[in-house]
Amino acid sequence: MDIDAAVFDVFGTLTDWRSSVTEALAETGGRAGLSADWAAVTDAWRRSYRPALGKVLSGELAWRPLDELHRLTLDEVLPAHGLGALGEAERQELVRAWHRLRAWPDAASGLEELCRGPVVTATLSNGGFGQVTRLVKQAGLRFDCVLSAELAKSYKPDPRVYLMAAELLGVEPRRLLMVACHPDDLEAAATAGLRTAYIPRPLEWGPDAAPVAPPTAVDLVAADVPALAHMLRGAAR
């Protein structure tokens, strides 16, 4: 496959948001003397993310950074789990938990290998530009550059986000590979004219989650990031 650049989803595909945010909730909530099924709170918070994005994409909500969407949804999720007592400082701290996520164990070495090759690598995340920059730096995930949906003042799966990436990188969409563990992200990228690579992350929603149906039509399937790096070796001109 001839590609010039590969862009990566970050939440889920490269980082284990669930265990990281669950830990942050348990720590912040515990300090405040509260108790809850913290993983269930994390899952509810994450599930509220797509509907919030949908409101932005439909125009019901004006575009705002992901941090602000996370805060809106947190303020809904906490009282629903008996955690309405959490204060302002704690809520701000929890929003920032999404800036420090643990990488999946294979991600750093695979990205490092890709950076040494000819294919340009970038994030393509719904996280804010600064948020994703700090997140990948602290997680040790190396890229040639950072791209965020913020640069298109929209969110994936809006096709403008994928096309913004192609335009800024100066590559044709058909020579740009979107890498993600979420079938809907890959389907939207393919519709925008990009190539697609699927990396399954069966543990994204925890060990007890129902299996995710794999996407039906992608260009590549790789077990993890090093396997993808191996497939892409020598792919660029």
Does 174 participate in binding a second copy (rule CB under 8 A)?
A: no
Q: Rounded to the nearest whole angstrom, what is the least distance from the CB of residue 198 to a second copy in the complex?
A: 25
Does residue 163 touch a second copy according to CB under 8 A?
A: no
Q: Establish if 133 lies at the interface with a second copy (CB under 8 A).
A: yes
Q: How far is CA 6 from the centre of its chain?
A: 15
Q: Is 171 in the site for a second copy (CB under 8 A)?
A: yes
Q: Which of 21, 25, 120, 225 binds a second copy (CB under 8 A)?
A: 120
**Residue 50: phi, psi to the nearest 5?**
-60, -45
Those residues whose C-beta lies under 8 Å from the C-beta of residue 155, and which sit 6 or more positions away, are 53, 56, 57, 63, 66, 126, 149, 161
Size of the site for a second copy (CB under 8 A): 22
Choosing from 26, 36, 115, 212, the residue that interacts with a second copy (CB under 8 A) is: 115
**Closer of 60 and 116 to a second copy (Cβ):** 116
Q: Is 168 in the site for a second copy (CB under 8 A)?
A: yes
By the criterion CB under 8 A, which residues form the site for a second copy? 115, 120, 122, 128-131, 133-134, 136-137, 142-146, 150-151, 168-171
